[in-house]
Amino acid sequence: MNVAVVFHSALGSTKQLAQAVAAGAAAQPGVDAIQIEIVGADIVEGRFCNTELLQQLGKADALVFGSPTYMGCVSAQFKAFSDATSELWAKQLWADKIAAGFTIGANLSGDQLNTLQYMQVFANQHGMCWVGLDIPGNYDPGMRNRLGAQSGLIAHSTDGVLNETDLLAARYLGQRVAQVSKRFVA
Phi then psi dihedrals of residue 159, to 5 deg: -125, 10
pLDDT tens readout for residues 30-51:
999 999 999 999 999 999 999 9
CATH topology of domain 2-184: Rossmann fold (3.40.50)
pTM confidence score: 0.96
Phi then psi dihedrals of residue 42, to 5 deg: -75, -10
Helix, strand, coil % over all residues of the chain, rounded to 5: 40, 20, 40
pLDDT tens readout for residues 60-78:
999 999 999 999 999 999 9
Torsion of CA 82, 87, 91, 94, to 10 degrees: -30
